[in-house]
Amino acid sequence: MIASPPRIGGLDIQSWGSPDDPVVLMIGPAERSSPDGRDLARALAEAGRHVLLTDLPDKDGAAALRRLLTDISSRPAVLCAQAALDSVIPALAVTGPALASCLIVVGDGPVSLQTTTALDGLPILTVEPGQGGEALDRLNAAVLGFLEREAPREAVLYQAGSDARTLRDALGCFGTGVTVVTTLDADGQPIGLTANSFSSVSLDPPLILFCLSCGSTNLERFQAARHFAINVLHIGQQPMSGVFARSDADRFQDVTWETWDTGAPILSGSLASFECATDRVIEAGDHLIFIGRVLRARFEPRRDPLLYFRGKYRRLHFA
């Protein structure tokens, strides 16, 4: 959400994100007026940065920037358009790392090393914006990656160990989608459960896999099934994920589903669904790995995925 706080350092400021997050100071008319600049500001805010946007005056821009950096309570990352370097370089040459954590220059060409000689000791990234959606994604990735290295949101604190709790927490750092795996039992009744241990295996032949605990009450029914389906959930289906994760409920009650060729239940409206023939089942520790050959797939490209990270549901909006 965008807000308009009071003037800082005598300059008009617009802001994105929470004031409690690390500051990224965006400078230059390109950032204020272009769609790519606004999209970058949103991406930074969604990644946990407090974005301040401003234009420097044509006259005494370096002095205005020095005043602004002095009035900001933390050491911001400075992100500027290449055209603003004439003001940014003299300002940072005086304040340097004392008032800024790093400098990011967005421009259509390389920045001369001689230009940045006065900023020795200040981490600098130069990046070209490019054109189109993929170029914007690359720009966002480059900027966010640089900030994580040079101006991390929090001090890096690693935890280590060989116990089950440490392993479980470390594995939880791998963000996944959320799926509901379905099949029919011997009596033709629908069976389903929530799983995030899903992965693609191969495109030729088309193979996917999911893992099922050896302690699951549905293990034997999935072992006996010749077919199953994987239903990838979108953000609006989080309640459905909870229903299929419980063991004491009629999981298919009030759930709209359909069948294709094999009879495996396809949850209507899912982000993506894969109808599969069971190819093989492999024992692996306390789980079985079910590998399926994809017979048919369907997906909706305009919905946002439901994610799972560090034991919690997460949402990512980009559609």
Predicted pLDDT at 32: 45
Predicted pLDDT at 265: 97
Kindly report the CA angle at 161 between 157 and 162, in degrees rounded to 5? 155
Q: Are residues 59 and 13 in the same domain?
A: yes
pTM of the prediction?
Answer: 0.68
Predicted pLDDT at 34: 52
Q: Are residues 223 and 100 in the same domain?
A: no
What pLDDT, in 10s, does the model give residues 12-62?
A: 888 889 988 999 999 875 444 455 577 888 889 988 999 998 888 878 888
Question: Averaged over 54-77, what is the pLDDT?
Answer: 87
What pLDDT, in 10s, does the model give residues 267-317?
A: 999 999 999 999 999 999 999 999 999 999 999 988 999 999 988 988 776
- Residue 136, Cβ neighbours under 10 Å: how many? 17
pLDDT band at 132 (very low <50, low <70, confident <90, very high): low
Owner of token pair 């959930």 = 233
* CATH, residue 30: 3.40.50.1820
Question: Averaged over 248-267, what is the pLDDT?
Answer: 91
What pLDDT, in 10s, does the model give residues 161-177?
A: 888 889 888 988 999 99
Predicted pLDDT at 86: 86
* CATH, residue 177: 2.30.110.10
Q: Are residues 201 and 90 in the same domain?
A: no
Q: Are 53 and 41 in contact (CB under 8 A)?
A: yes
Predicted pLDDT at 300: 93
Structure tokens belonging to residue 3: 């807000």
Q: Are residues 174 and 308 in the same domain?
A: yes
Gap between the Cα atoms of 94 and 79, Å rounded: 17
Boundary-marking domain end, from 93, 123, 150:
150
Q: Are 183 and 195 in contact (CB under 8 A)?
A: no
Q: Are residues 189 and 111 in the same domain?
A: no
Q: Are residues 187 and 280 in the same domain?
A: yes
Percent of the chain past pLDDT 70, that is, above it, reads 86
Q: Are residues 239 and 171 in the same domain?
A: yes
User: Domain range for residue 90?
Assistant: 2-150
Highest mean pLDDT: which range of 106-110, 127-131, 134-138, 189-193: 189-193
Highest mean pLDDT: which range of 79-83, 120-124, 284-288: 284-288
Q: Are residues 172 and 282 in the same domain?
A: yes
Q: Is the pLDDT of residue 238 over 50?
A: yes
DSSP label at residue 114: T
Q: Are residues 103 and 212 in the same domain?
A: no
Q: Is the pLDDT of residue 250 over 60?
A: yes
Average confidence score pLDDT of the chain = 86
> CA-CA-CA-CA torsion for 231, 236, 238, 240, nearest 10 degrees?
-60
Q: Are residues 31 and 85 in the same domain?
A: yes
Predicted pLDDT at 2: 43
Gap between the Cα atoms of 269 and 251, Å rounded: 16
How many structural domains comprise the chain?
A: 2
